[in-house]
């Protein structure tokens, strides 16, 4: 009896201590005077993500709690910031303090080794090696393949417009297009996703299955402890079968290319396989050299050229940095996923706005028609015009990315033991949320944020834009390495679509888009538009 009472007392004391520990952890923001949603014991505040979409939730929280608020992922504190100065501090000024993304609780051999999730040391090395593969010059080599995929889409449009009187599920066709583009430009694989006789093709089937997310699994992967995820055998945010399919596909392609060195494909996989830089470039401490920009070639490339010139007589003795095979596979599959889903969503959202704003669509068409009429879309002149000389068309793309950024939240993690942000003390591994969608919809930075107004980004209005309040692909050294490729694809797909087709709403077309719940990716539910070919 005495033993039993002692055990009972021990359990009581242990439970009490654990309860007090959790309470202490989850009162962090309260002690610091930071507003935010009230956490549920152990679960924190992220349980709400399963009930509504991330864009809607982040916007509601901003309007309720202000531009700085705290929340919890289980017991891990999250600080969400909307202030431009703080966004600049996290992305750029104090980048080294916030260099890591949130630590993954799941583990997959390839998923954990891609650029998006690796820690600062691995990321810096991989980024230095991969960045020169994404210069404008190298990406331009994929333009003929992109245009072949767009030609295929137009053939499907012609057939289906006649069969359905122009009533088409836009998302279905555009997802097929971007899947074709990433298969062709990334892996030299022709698949023709929109071909109705091709629906059982493994690439198409697995590509579609990849984003049929199980919301419950996604929430568990984000919030549950590592030991529980291992116990439940949850290794990814999304469906593991299609992800493993693409990993195995890349492995097979790499093996084929190892045995066929004489014939190299001009695709992204080959660029990544061939990527190498001198070790002194990898060890260069200036992280600004790794930033991908739209207007100029990256500084990284010029540094590489300078180093080559300085050491051309010592080439045989220089150590080279290359990706491991695991890193090649991990980053190739990452680019496939990002290039398929996010790009298709941006195009779909743009066409949705064009249909609801016929005046904007007509003005865009007239600008495109005046500058591009009669040009070969594979020519250098076509590229130069659509990328640099169509201010209204460019403003439409930017406004689409403002209103519908690819990802509603960009996470960072405090990577040093002690730091302060706006006077708030932060411990290592505290998560920083930079809520792209909420910042892009802040009335202080974008008046009438729910309206689609390309004029915001016209050259004569740029002085009204608040710096560091627009970051659809992130900012600073860890911005999206595939940004140039994404912009090129957006410019080619949208310029040719808007030049050749007119988009209108139908009675059943929603006036506002609804987004999939349980994911930070801005993936809208399907809708129909009327599509007619321009004369």
pTM equals 0.90
Give yes or no for a contact between 100 and 119, defined as CB atoms under 8 angstroms apart: yes
Q: What is the mean pLDDT of the chain?
A: 86
Label residue 16 by pLDDT band (50, 70, 90). Answer: confident
In angstroms, what is the C-alpha Rg of the chain?
25
Which residues, 6+ apart, have CB-to-CB distance to 388 below 8 Å? none
In the prediction, which pLDDT does 336 show?
83
Buried residues in 275-301 as b, exposed as e (16+ CB within 10 A) = bebbeebbebeebebbbbeeeeebebb
Q: Between 434 and 242, where is the model more confident?
A: 434
Task: Note the pLDDT tens digit of each residue in 461-478.
Answer: 999 999 999 999 999 999
Q: Between 533 and 192, where is the model more confident?
A: 533
- Determine which of 409-418, 444-453, 515-524 has the lowest per-residue pLDDT on average: 515-524
The CA–CA distances, whole Å, from 388 to 242, 335, 383, 393 equal 38, 25, 8, 10
Taking residue 145's Cβ as centre, other Cβ atoms within 10 Å add up to 18
Phi, psi of 473 (to 5 degrees): -115, 20
Share of the chain above pLDDT 70, in %: 89
Whether the per-residue pLDDT at 1 is higher than 60: the answer is: no
What fold does the segment set 31-533 form as a domain?
A: Cytochrome p450 (1.10.630)
Round to whole Å and give the CA distance between 41 and 53.
23
Task: Note the pLDDT tens digit of each residue in 66-114.
Answer: 999 999 888 889 999 999 999 999 999 999 999 998 778 888 888 888 8
Task: Note the pLDDT tens digit of each residue in 410-434.
Answer: 999 999 988 999 999 999 989 999 9
* Sequence spans of domains, the chain: 31-533
Give yes or no for a contact between 309 and 116, defined as CB atoms under 8 angstroms apart: no
In the prediction, which pLDDT does 370 show?
96
Round to whole Å and give the CA distance between 28 and 411.
20
Q: What totals of helices (H) and strands (E) does the chain contain, helices first?
A: 21, 11
Q: Between vectors from CA 395 to CA 391 and to CA 401, what angle results, nearest 5°?
A: 150
Q: In DSSP terms, which residues pair with 70 in a beta bridge? A: 79
Whether the per-residue pLDDT at 307 is higher than 50: the answer is: no
Task: Note the pLDDT tens digit of each residue in 162-213.
Answer: 888 889 999 999 999 999 999 999 888 888 888 766 555 688 788 878 777 6
């Amino acid at each position: 009896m005495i033993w039993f009472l002692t055990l009972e007392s021990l359990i009581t004391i242990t439970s009490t201590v654990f309860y007090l520990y959790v309470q202490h952890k989850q009162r962090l923001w309260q002690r610091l005077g930071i507003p935010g949603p009230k956490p549920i014991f152990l679960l924190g505040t992220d349980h709400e993500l399963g009930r509504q979409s991330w864009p809607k939730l982040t916007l509601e929280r901003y309007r309720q709690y202000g531009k700085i608020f705290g929340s919890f992922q289980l017991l891990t504190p999250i600080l969400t910031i909307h202030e431009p100065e703080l966004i600049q501090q996290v992305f750029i000024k104090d980048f080294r303090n916030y260099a890591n993304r949130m630590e993954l609780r799941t583990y997959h051999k390839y998923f954990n080794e891609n650029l998006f999730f690796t820690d600062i040391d691995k990321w810096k090395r991989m980024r230095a090696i991969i960045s020169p593969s994404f210069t404008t010059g190298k990406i331009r080599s994929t333009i003929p393949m992109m245009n072949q995929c767009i030609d295929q889409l137009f053939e499907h449009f012609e057939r289906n417009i006649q069969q359905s009187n122009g009533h088409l599920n836009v998302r279905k066709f555009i997802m097929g297009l971007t899947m074709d583009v990433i298969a062709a430009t990334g892996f030299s694989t022709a698949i023709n996703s929109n071909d109705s006789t091709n629906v059982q093709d493994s690439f198409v089937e697995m590509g579609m299955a990849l984003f049929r997310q199980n919301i419950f699994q996604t929430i568990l992967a984000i919030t549950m402890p590592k030991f529980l995820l291992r116990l439940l055998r949850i290794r990814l945010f999304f469906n593991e079968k299609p992800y493993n399919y693409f990993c195995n596909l890349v492995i097979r392609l790499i093996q084929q290319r190892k045995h066929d060195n004489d014939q190299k494909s001009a695709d992204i996989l080959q660029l990544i396989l061939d990527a190498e830089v001198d070790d002194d470039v990898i060890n260069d401490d200036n992280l600004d050299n790794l930033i991908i920009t739209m207007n100029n070639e990256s500084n990284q490339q010029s540094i590489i050229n300078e180093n080559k010139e300085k050491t051309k007589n010592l080439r045989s003795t220089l150590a080279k940095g290359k990706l491991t095979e695991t890193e090649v596979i991990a980053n190739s599959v990452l680019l496939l996923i990002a290039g398929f889903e996010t790009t298709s969503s941006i195009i779909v959202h743009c066409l949705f706005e064009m249909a609801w704003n016929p005046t904007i669509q007509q003005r865009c068409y007239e600008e495109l028609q005046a500058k591009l009429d009669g040009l070969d879309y594979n020519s250098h002149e076509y590229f130069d015009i659509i990328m640099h000389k169509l201010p209204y068309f460019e403003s439409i793309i930017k406004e689409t990315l403002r209103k519908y950024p690819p990802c509603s939240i960009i996470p960072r993690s405090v990577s040093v033991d002690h730091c302060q942000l706006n006077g708030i003390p932060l411990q290592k591994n505290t998560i920083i949320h930079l809520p792209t969608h909420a910042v892009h919809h802040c009335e202080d930075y974008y008046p009438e944020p729910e309206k689609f107004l390309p004029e915001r980004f016209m050259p004569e209005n740029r002085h009204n834009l608040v710096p560091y309040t627009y970051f659809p692909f992130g900012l600073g050294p860890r911005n999206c390495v595939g940004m140039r490729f994404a912009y090129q694809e957006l410019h080619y797909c949208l310029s040719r679509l808007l030049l050749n087709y007119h988009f209108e709403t139908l009675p059943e077309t929603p006036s506002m888009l609804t987004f999939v719940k349980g994911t930070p990716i801005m993936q809208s539910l399907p809708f129909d538009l009327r599509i007619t070919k321009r004369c």
